[in-house]
Amino acid sequence: MKKLLFGLACLFAFNQQSSDVNAGALRQGEFSIIPYGGMAPSTFVHRKKSSFIVDGKYYCEKAPNFNDILKFPFIFGGSIGYNVTNQFEFFANVDYTIAGTGKKNVARSIRPDTNSLMKYQTGTFGALGTYLGGRYYYDCGGTWYPFVGAKLGVVSRKSVNTKVFIDNIRFAKDKFFDSNTAFAGGLQLGLDAELAEYIDFIFMAEAIGSGRLKPSKIRTHFPFFNRVGGMFTFPVTAGIRFRMY
């Protein structure tokens, strides 16, 4: 269905081409600012292992996924764009993804003779992304313009702490993941709809991949080690474009 819509948009675009610099979806030489926000479903890639030591015994199991340890993530950000042509926009954007503290998770049954349970509760996840990219707009001969885009940059994640409980008694506090910075990039698909002469509505869906999270260091007092690959994030956002002629 998406391929069909994309093909129709291309057909309309080629039928609407013009030599006039102001013809098309954009105004060449124009700047714009877009604040936006929405949801950002996320998942870890290549979950490998989660290891810990309790009472001198080493435990190892498959690392949990994002939604196993954190609440649903949301994203907020903004971009500044410049229209290189009447159909292509170069932009820079900054966004922040946040997910709140999750519930207590049963990590492992320990001390089988006493049926003891170890649980952990992670803190808040936060990631700041900075990108450069471009978007190509298709003029459908009206006041709405579908677009496709791509961007490349880096994402800086803060460390994620965790509280560990054994039989509901707090046992230790440590880091689930350390802070780190990784390369990131992705693709965009969206729609620009004109609301007024200087204001547009923007709806956009993205698929963003980023490098691996940094495992916490093994510590002698309470080793808690998690190894996963990178992340995939799928933001769905809405925003307002403010044009500056």
Helix H or strand E segment including 15: helix 2-15
Q: Alpha-carbon distance 18 to 20, whole Å?
A: 5
In the prediction, which pLDDT does 20 show?
A: 41
Q: Which residues contact 29 (CB under 8 A, 6 or more apart)?
A: 82, 83
Closest CA to 154 of 190, 127, 176: 127
pLDDT tens-place string over residues 178-202: 889 999 999 999 999 989 888 999 9
pLDDT tens-place string over residues 196-236: 888 999 999 999 999 988 877 655 455 566 677 889 999 99
Question: Please, what is the Cα angle at 121 between 38 and 101, to 5 degrees?
Answer: 20
Which parts of the chain sit beneath pLDDT 50?
1-22, 220
Tokens for 226, please give them: 């998690």
In the prediction, which pLDDT does 6 show?
A: 46
Residue with tokens 């190894």: 227
37 in Cβ contact with 237 (< 8 Å): yes
